[in-house]
Amino acid sequence: MKLTIDNIQIDVEPGTTILQAARKIGGKIVPPAMCWYSSLEGSGGKCRTCLVKVIKGSEKDPRPMAKLVPSCSTMVQDGMEVLNITSPEVMQARKAVVEFLLINHPLDCPICDQAGECDLQNLSYAHGLAETRYEEDRRTFEMIDIGDKIKLHMTRCILCYRCVYVADQLTPGRVHGVLNRSDASEIGTYISNVIDNEFSGNMIDVCPVGALTDKTFRFKSRVWFTNPFDAHRHCEKCKGEAVVWMAGKEILRVTGRKNAYGEVENFICNECRFEKKSVTDWVIEKPRKIQHSSVISQNHYENLAGNG
């Protein structure tokens, strides 16, 4: 079926969402997504950053859709016409969503481990206001340990639910979820019940902000001072394919391999992530391709390949 996004036409399979179709086209017309995650079933529909305008519903029923729709959960219809960056209304709505996401979000970037690879930081840079209009008290929380390897900064959480899907889909005996509703919502673990099963560390990778951080890496370095390399090892629990983030000959952290949209397709186990921090544990393959727009690419570390 045919679809047009920002005047670019594409053919897609039935059952494709507008966001997936936009990703097939690629480039600037792809809406940002803070909650949808390709490898987590049921994700999406929470953050509203991916809103787009449908000016023609389909060939059969050409009426426009009355409101902006989330592109991550709206299916393509044959003949549909969609506007993203060419619609001032969408751009205005995206600004409003960013302002809303930042209502309770602290200005932690200078000390936040996610800085330099944070979807919210990028989104705020592109659409945020220089100042806040919010006058009420912000929500405050104590920091929580989720097991001995993960730290939760609930103040930074945007309630995208991705970590809940990780807990639900990758780990047995889920003890983690969103407690309460509305502005009282928070990520809870039935009171810091230790989440110590083999795939819980993936919550850190799927978190679009710095709410869930790796305690083995916290405050060790800024991400743009580290050099990411694709690496693999023999592992019984996962595929053993990861990215090792190095400073000199030291591995500071291990993460899953993310695609162009920051999503991990092959989740890694906690042993690979938290316990294999020696270069002898890994076969280093090659420097990771980092998007030119990322601050991490400023390092020009590619020449170090093979020295790690």
- Chain contacts with ligand SF4 (rule: CB under 6 A): 105, 108-109, 112, 114-115, 118, 120-121, 156-163, 187, 206-212
Minimum distance from CB of 291 to ligand FES (Å)? 19
> Which C-beta is closer to ligand SF4: that of 109 or that of 235?
109
Q: Can you tell me which residue has the tokens 């100042």? A: 131
Residue of 22, 70, 117, 209 that binds ligand FES (CB under 6 A): 70
Tell me, by CB under 6 A, how many residues bind ligand FES: 13
Sorted by sequence, the CB contacts under 8 Å of residue 9 that are 6+ apart come out as: 2, 3
C-beta nearest to ligand SF4: residue: 112
CB contact at 8 A, 147 and 196: yes
The CA-based diameter of the chain, rounded to the nearest angstrom, is 61
**Which does residue 195 bind out of ligand SF4, ligand FES, none, counting CB within 5 to 8 angstroms by kind?**
none
Residues whose CB is less than 8 angstroms from the CB of residue 273 and which lie 6 or more positions away in sequence, other chains included: 201, 204, 214, 242, 254, 255
28-58 core/surface letters (b: 16 or more CB in 10 A; e: else): ebbbbbbbbbbbbeebbebbbbbbbbbebeb
For tokens 């970037």, name the residue: 109
Binding-site partner at residue 206 among ligand SF4, ligand FES, none, CB < 5 to 8 Å by type: ligand SF4
Contact 214, 152 (CB under 8 A): no
Residue 298 CA neighbour count, 13 Å, CB half: 10
- Asked if 208 interacts with ligand FES (CB under 6 A), we say no
Which structure tokens are listed for 271? Answer: 């042993």
Rounded least distance, CB 116 to ligand SF4, Å: 8
Return the residues of window 87-146 that contact ligand FES according to CB under 6 A: none
CB of 77 to ligand FES, least distance (A): 18
CA pair distance 28, 47, nearest whole angstrom: 19
Residues 30-49: x where in contact with ligand FES by CB under 6 A, - otherwise, as a string: ---xxxx-------xxxxxx
- Residue placing its CB nearer to ligand FES in the complex, 44 or 228: 44
Using CB positions, name the residue nearest to ligand FES: 72
Can you tell me the distance from the alpha carbon of 263 to that of 38, in angstroms, rounded to the nearest whole number? 7
Q: Tell me the closest approach of the beta carbon of residue 53 to ligand SF4, in angstroms.
A: 26
**Cβ(229)–Cβ(308) below 8 Å:** yes
Residue 50 binds ligand FES (CB under 6 A): yes
- CB of 166 or CB of 195, closer to ligand FES: 166
Comparison of 34 and 54: residue with beta carbon closer to ligand FES: 34
How many residues are present in the chain? 308
Residue 157 touches which of ligand SF4, ligand FES, none (Cβ within 5-8 Å per kind): ligand SF4
Minimum separation from the CB atom of position 30 to ligand SF4 (A): 20
Say whether 145 sits in a helix, a strand or coil. Answer: strand
**Quick one: tokens of 60?**
């059969």
Interface residue list for ligand FES (CB under 6 A): 33-36, 44-50, 70, 72
